[in-house]
């Protein structure tokens, strides 16, 4: 297993290097001048030039790139062009919120999605199956900014169970948990909708396999067939979808964080993009990429755990 993990980590290095280069070029290819974004419409060309020099943007792009690469490889992502705070500091403050939200949404997605998918498969073409598929279609059809606002109107404005502003008080985990509920449900619903569909189809396929028929003939209990022989084998595509979907969740967290006004990487990256804060954008993209690489790694390891053939 250790060799497997090390091998996967080593193959991630070129990916990260490619991402560093691509990110550096991308943020500069995007039109928009950070100096104008910062100083606005009344600044003279002289003032704009002075700020560009202050930000180091007047230097040759190659110099900027190698400096960025050198610093990034040493773990230094620089300081924000706008806030003058270390990029790492802002990431460190925002990242836990995004991770908590993603994990909570993933948990909701799996807890609702997997049992519902199994249930639907067991009642193929029955009322439960049709209802589950319909609900799943609804879940997929609602963008998070619509379902988020809908939840806010019902649970915050009408029922007064949750606040609209979801910024948790620092150090107060009860408050944090309270304000996590609606955003996590918003994100979790979409994931549950995906997981239901994949679990259902995978389960249907597995339940039709010969070994299941054999197990039934051997007198294995219904519960044993469903949960051990059925679900155990049906989980591989589900894990793939969950792994892939974590990337989508992190992306969707941008909208969720904005709708619920929660801190997180999404808000930081949108802010950096709006203000053309190159260093912050670069840092954020590196972190996003790193997160995706880690999630893929965990997914691969999970395959190994579920299906020992993968390790070979």
Partner 1 sequence: MTLRITLSAALAAATLVAMPASAAPKTDLKVGMAAQDVGQLDPHRAVSTIDRTVVAWIYNGLVRFKPGTMDPKQIEPDLAEKWDSSSDKLDWTFHLRHGVKFHGDFGDLTADDVVFSLKRASDAKTSAFSADFAAFKTIEATDPYTVHIVLARQVPSLLGLLTNYSGGYIVSRKAVEKYGADFTRNPVGTGPFAFVSDTPNQSLELAAFDGYFRGKPKLEHVSYRYIPSDSSRDLAFQNGEIDLIYGKQDQAWINRIRALPNSVVDVFEPGELANLNLNITAKPLDDIRVRQAIAYAVNRPELVKWQGADTARPGQSVIPAGYLGSSNDVGLVNTDIAKAKALLKEAGYPDGVTIKIIHTQLPQMLGSMQVVQAQLRKAGINLDIQVVDHATFHQQIRKDLSPIVYYAAARFPVADIYLTQFFHSASIVGKPTAVTNFSHCDVADKEIDAAKAETDTEKQVALWVEAQKKIVAAVCAVPLAEALQIWAHRTDLDYGYDLKASLSLGPLLTEATHFK
The residue ranges that bind partner 1 (CB under 8 A) are 30-33, 36-47, 50, 54, 82-85, 90, 93-94, 145, 149, 152-153, 156-157, 160, 163-165, 167, 258-261, 263, 267-268, 270-271, 274-276
CA distance 160 to 226: 41
Number of helical (H) and strand (E) elements in the chain, helices listed first? 13, 0
For partner 1, the closer of residues 156 and 236 by Cβ is: 156
Contacts of 152 (CB under 8 A, 6+ apart): 162, 164, 182, 259, 260
Name the residue nearer to partner 1 (CB basis): 135 or 164: 164
Smaller CB separation from partner 1, 84 or 223? 84
Residue number, 233 or 275, with CB nearest to partner 1 = 275
Instruction: Report in angstroms how near the CB of residue 160 gets to partner 1 at its nearest.
Output: 8
Structure token pair of residue 194: 């995906």
Q: What's the min distance (Å) between Cβ of 262 and partner 1?
A: 9
Nearest distance from residue 38's CB to partner 1, in Å?
6
Tokens of residue 225, six digits: 């067939």
Q: How far is the CB of 19 from partner 1 (least distance, A)?
A: 23
Angle at 110 between CA 4 and CA 134, to 5 degrees: 135
Tracing tokens 């998918």 back to the chain, one arrives at 117
198 vs 250 by CB, closer to partner 1:
250
Question: In the complex with partner 1, which residue's Cβ is closer, 137 or 146?
Answer: 146
- C-beta neighbour count of 259 within 10 angstroms: 21
CB of 295 to partner 1, least distance (A): 24
Q: What is the spatial distance between Cα 290 and Cα 276, in angstroms, rounded to a whole number? A: 22
* Three-state secondary structure of 189-239: HHHHHHHHHHHHHHHHHHHCCHHHHHHHHCCCCHHHHHHHHHHHHHHHHHH
Shortest Å distance, C-beta 92 to partner 1:
12
């Amino acid at each position: 297993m250790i060799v497997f993990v090390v091998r996967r980590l080593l193959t991630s290095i070129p990916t990260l290097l490619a991402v560093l280069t691509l990110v550096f070029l991308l943020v500069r290819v995007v039109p928009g001048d950070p100096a104008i974004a910062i100083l606005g419409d009344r600044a003279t060309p002289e003032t704009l030039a002075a700020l560009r020099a202050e930000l180091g943007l007047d230097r040759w792009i190659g110099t900027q790139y190698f400096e960025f690469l050198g610093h990034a490889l040493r773990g230094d992502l620089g300081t924000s062009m706008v806030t003058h705070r270390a990029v790492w500091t802002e990431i460190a403050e925002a990242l836990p919120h995004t991770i908590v939200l993603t994990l909570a949404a993933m948990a909701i997605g799996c807890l609702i999605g997997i049992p519902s998918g199994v249930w639907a498969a067991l009642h193929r073409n029955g009322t439960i199956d049709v209802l589950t598929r319909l609900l799943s279609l609804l879940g997929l059809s609602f963008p998070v900014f619509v379902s988020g606002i809908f939840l806010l109107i019902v649970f915050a404005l009408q029922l007064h169970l949750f606040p609209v502003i979801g910024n948790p008080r620092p150090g107060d985990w009860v408050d944090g948990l309270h304000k996590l509920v609606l955003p996590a449900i918003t994100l979790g619903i979409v994931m549950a909708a995906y997981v239901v569909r994949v679990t259902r189809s995978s389960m249907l396929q597995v339940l039709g396999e010969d070994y299941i028929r054999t197990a039934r003939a051997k007198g294995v209990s219904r519960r044993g067939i469903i949960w051990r022989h059925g679900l155990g084998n049906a989980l591989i595509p589900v894990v793939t979808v969950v792994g892939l979907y974590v990337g989508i969740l992190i992306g969707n967290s941008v909208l969720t964080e904005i709708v619920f006004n929660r801190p997180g990487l999404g808000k930081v990256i949108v802010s950096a993009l709006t203000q053309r804060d190159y260093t912050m954008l670069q840092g954020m993209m590196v972190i996003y990429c790193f997160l995706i690489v880690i999630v893929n790694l965990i997914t691969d390891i999970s395959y190994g755990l579920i299906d020992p053939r993968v390790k070979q």
